[in-house]
């Protein structure tokens, strides 16, 4: 369960990241995100459009990748901030699923808009039948021992 302070910090960091969006193709979508790790670190991300469709990076995956680049695999929460309440797509939710397997704990999902509206959910609630990699389960759990 996220504290009020953690939720506030996630939204603040996602809003800041939103300002750096490289939204060449989707000028209307200026989205920011932030990941919170189990050890209390925040890793923001923003949309990075590609000129060619499918080449860019979703905001949520940019935040997750930012954490992983810094050796952080234990994800506690993900926050997304947009002009309106915008939930992560199925691809981004599935992208989080192996990180859920690292710790075995559900990941809190915070959705906020720039007007102060907030909705809360979890990875499992939003993707209840996500693909679980049984054959890599032990290997995924090894990442819990790294840089926690």
Q: Residue 147's pLDDT is what?
A: 65
In contact, 122 and 107? CB cutoff 8 Å: yes
Q: Residue 81's pLDDT is what?
A: 98
- What is the model's pTM? 0.93
Domains annotated on the chain, with CATH: 4-145 (3.40.140.10)
Q: Residue 53's pLDDT is what?
A: 73
Q: Residue 141's pLDDT is what?
A: 84
C-alpha of 76 from chain center: 10
| Six token digits for residue 93 | 């939710």
Instruction: Tell me the mean pLDDT in the region 36-47.
Output: 96
Q: Residue 51's pLDDT is what?
A: 80
How far, in Å, CA of 141 to CA of 31, rounded? 31
Instruction: Tell me the mean pLDDT in the region 26-50.
Output: 90
**Digit-coded pLDDT (tens) for 74-116:** 999 999 999 999 999 999 999 999 999 999 999 999 999 999 9
Question: What three-state secondary structure class fits 57?
Answer: strand
């Amino acid at each position: 369960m996220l504290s009020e302070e953690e939720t506030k910090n996630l939204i603040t960091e996602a809003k800041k990241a939103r300002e750096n969006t490289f939204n060449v193709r989707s000028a209307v979508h200026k989205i920011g995100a932030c990941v919170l790790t189990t050890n209390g670190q925040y890793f923001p991300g923003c949309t990075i459009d590609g000129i060619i469709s499918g080449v860019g990076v979703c905001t949520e995956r940019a935040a997750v990748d930012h954490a992983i680049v810094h050796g952080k695999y234990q994800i506690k929460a993900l926050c997304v901030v947009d002009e309106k309440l915008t939930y992560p797509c199925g691809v981004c939710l599935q992208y989080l699923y192996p990180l859920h397997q690292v710790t075995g704990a559900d990941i809190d999902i915070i959705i906020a808009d720039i007007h102060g509206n907030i909705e809360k959910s979890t990875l499992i609630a939003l993707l209840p039948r996500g693909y679980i990699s049984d054959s890599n389960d032990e290997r995924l759990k090894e990442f819990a021992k790294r840089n926690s």
